């Protein structure tokens, strides 16, 4: 038998050129065509299930060689290839169009891909996205769903879910498939959580999130938007009315920089800025009601995914954008692809700058940010990161808009109106995702602080399994 030829280079996915894409909010990466996906799938070595490091790196343990093999095996019949591949993915992940786009693959499934020893790692995220997109565009996901719906055995028990982000949506979907009556209570006027109000359209088109949510509705999930748990209804009331409760209320409270001038006009939290842009479609003002002021010089403080999304959104208003970060480039936590895209789009980066004052004009509007220059010290912090220290030298950068993106904490309303045990604002759960209150489970950013979509989904799945077991034991 002839030796298999190893193709070392990754098959690239087409992208829109930077000069074109900074003029609008349409998606940057166009994804694989079927032909390109097969070429990339053929590079995969199809490592055995029990060994494959990619499976171990995926927080929900998708059978990655399994789904990639289906694409290759049935490549003469694209619909069948995708149907088979999607069935494998759906066993562990019901939002592959989303995770294929936003997972930090370089730190997860792709991190230890064995192809990395001889060439480029397999582009698992883009293959997953391809399967999900092709399935959606050809109605294959609907077909698979309609195969599942008649097999569901309806149960009498009901579950309330708080929050319609990835954690809540996943828990809802899994429980609905088990036959439970599921109701989601969501504070905002649209479901989706950060997928809808945080991550911009050019990274994750909103019609994809809407489609995922419509599938849940087909499974019978009742989604009640504009319901703030803790105000419209309390957790205690939910406990009385439902057989179990899942809290997936996320981490939507922005942290602020506690320095003089932080209340000046023109300073936004990334949360407010992105919500106005994404959820309220401020970039389409006056077609949509919500306006947004974006000055000519924008400074973004922070270097995570939120900072990158804020910077790239601001850039699409045709303005000059600089990202500033108090550490060095090697500690930037945003996905590598987003940093690359941001740089291609002309966003500048300034490292080792820590804001110490926002300077305003006579009308109370920000006009500059004063920073202390930082440097690495020799000590490591508790997470093994090199500590930084001030140099005593300062610099001032002009800015008429500042966006603060230095992290978020779990939403406090639910915690303040319930009796859960919490630590540093995060709800504490046991190994079965149950909180200190019997029958109330939690997951996602509400228990972890700001984390990732796939970790939130993994929690939602795990909690749904635990809720199923809890309710079965209660019935006995």
Member of 198, 261, 302, 458 binding ligand FAD (CB under 6 A): 198
- The option from ligand FAD, ligand SF4, none interacting with 173 (CB < 5 to 8 A, set by class) reads none
CB-based contacts of 313: which residues, under 8 Å, 6+ apart?
Answer: 25, 200, 273, 274, 277, 278, 283
167 sits near ligand FAD (criterion: CB under 6 A)? yes
Taking CB within 5 to 8 Å according to partner kind, which of ligand SF4, ligand FAD, none is near residue 283? none
DSSP track, 48-107: -TTT-HHHHHSTT---HHHHHHHHHHTTTSHHHHHHHHHHHHHTT-S-HHHHHHHS-GGG
Residue whose C-alpha is closest to residue 470's, from 178, 163, 125, 50:
178
Identified binder of ligand FAD from the candidate list 178, 322, 418, 452, rule CB under 6 A: 452
Q: What is the nearest approach in angstroms of ligand SF4 to the Cβ of residue 120?
A: 10
Q: Quick one: which of 349, 360, 388, 348 has its CA closest to 372?
A: 388
186 forms part of the interface with ligand FAD (CB under 6 A):
yes
Site string for ligand FAD, 85-124 (x = CB under 6 A): -----------------xxx--------------------
- Decide which of ligand SF4, ligand FAD, none touches 410; Cβ closer than 5 to 8 Å per partner kind: none
CA distances, 190 to each of 156, 168, 183 (Å): 28, 13, 15
Cα(146)–Cα(132) distance, rounded to whole angstroms?
16
In this structure, what token pair is assigned to residue 44? 């995969």
413 contact, one of ligand FAD, ligand SF4, none, CB 5-8 Å limit per kind: ligand FAD
Q: Rule CB under 6 A: which residues touch ligand SF4?
A: 44-47, 52-54, 58, 60, 62, 64-65, 93, 99-100, 103, 105, 108-109, 113-115, 122, 124-125, 128, 454
**Cα separation of 151 and 144, whole Å?**
12
If phi over 0 gives left and psi between -120 and 50 gives alpha, with beta otherwise, what is residue 457?
alpha
Considering the rule CB under 6 A, would residue 413 count as an interface residue with ligand FAD? yes
The residue among 406, 402, 466 whose CA lies nearest residue 434 is 466
CB of 193 to ligand SF4, least distance (A): 17
Residues 382-411 vs ligand FAD: string with x where CB under 6 A? -----------------------------x
Residue 439: burial class (beta carbons within 10 Å; 0-12, 13-18, 19+): middle
**Residue 250 is a binding residue for ligand FAD (CB under 6 A):** yes
Which residues contact ligand FAD by CB under 6 A? 102-104, 162-168, 185-188, 193-194, 198-199, 228-230, 248-250, 252, 274, 305-306, 309, 335, 411, 413-414, 444-446, 450-454, 456
């Amino acid at each position: 038998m002839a030796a298999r030829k190893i193709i070392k280079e990754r098959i690239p996915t087409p992208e829109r050129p930077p000069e074109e894409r900074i003029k609008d909010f349409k998606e940057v990466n166009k994804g694989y065509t079927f032909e390109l996906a097969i070429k990339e799938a053929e590079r995969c070595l199809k490592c055995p299930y029990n060994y494959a490091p990619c499976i171990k790196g995926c927080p929900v343990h998708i059978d990655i060689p399994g789904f990639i093999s289906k694409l290759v095996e049935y490549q003469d019949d694209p619909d069948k290839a995708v149907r088979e591949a999607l069935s494998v993915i759906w066993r562990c992940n019901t939002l592959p169009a989303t995770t294929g786009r936003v997972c930090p693959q370089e730190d997860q499934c792709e991190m230890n891909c064995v192809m990395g020893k001889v060439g480029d790692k397999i582009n698992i995220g883009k293959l997953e996205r391809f399967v999900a997109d092709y399935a959606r565009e050809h109605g294959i996901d609907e077909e698979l769903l309609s195969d599942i719906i008649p097999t569901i055995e309806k149960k009498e028990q009901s579950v309330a879910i708080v929050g319609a982000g990835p954690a809540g949506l996943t828990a809802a979907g899994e429980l609905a498939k088990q036959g439970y009556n599921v109701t989601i209570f969501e504070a905002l006027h649209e479901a989706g959580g950060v997928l809808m109000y945080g991550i911009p359209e050019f990274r994750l088109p909103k019609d994809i999130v809407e489609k995922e949510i419509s599938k849940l509705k087909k499974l019978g999930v009742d989604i009640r938007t504009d319901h703030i748990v803790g105000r419209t209804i309390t957790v205690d009331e939910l406990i009385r009315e439902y057989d179990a409760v899942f809290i997936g209320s996320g981490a939507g409270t922005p942290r602020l920089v506690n320095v003089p001038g932080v209340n000046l006009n023109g300073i936004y939290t990334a949360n407010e800025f992105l919500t106005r842009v994404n959820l309220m479609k401020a970039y389409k003002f006056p077609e949509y009601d919500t306006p947004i002021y974006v000055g000519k010089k924008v400074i973004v403080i922070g270097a995570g995914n939120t900072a990158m999304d804020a910077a790239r959104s601001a850039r699409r208003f045709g303005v000059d954008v600089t990202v500033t970060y108090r550490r060095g480039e090697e500690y930037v936590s945003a996905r590598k692809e987003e940093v690359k895209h941001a740089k291609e789009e002309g966003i500048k980066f300034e490292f080792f700058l820590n804001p110490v004052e926002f300077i305003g004009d006579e009308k109370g509007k920000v006009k500059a940010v004063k920073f202390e220059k930082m440097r690495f010290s020799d000590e490591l912090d508790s997470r093994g990161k090199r500590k930084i220290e001030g140099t005593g030298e300062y610099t001032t950068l002009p800015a008429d808009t500042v966006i603060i993106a230095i992290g978020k904490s779990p939403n406090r309303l639910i915690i303040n109106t319930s009796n859960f045990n919490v630590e540093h604002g995060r709800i504490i759960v046991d190994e079965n995702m149950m909180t200190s209150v019997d029958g109330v489970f939690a997951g996602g950013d509400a228990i972890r602080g700001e984390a990732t979509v796939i970790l939130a989904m993994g929690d939602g799945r795990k909690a749904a399994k635990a809720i199923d077991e809890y309710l079965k034991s209660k019935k006995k």
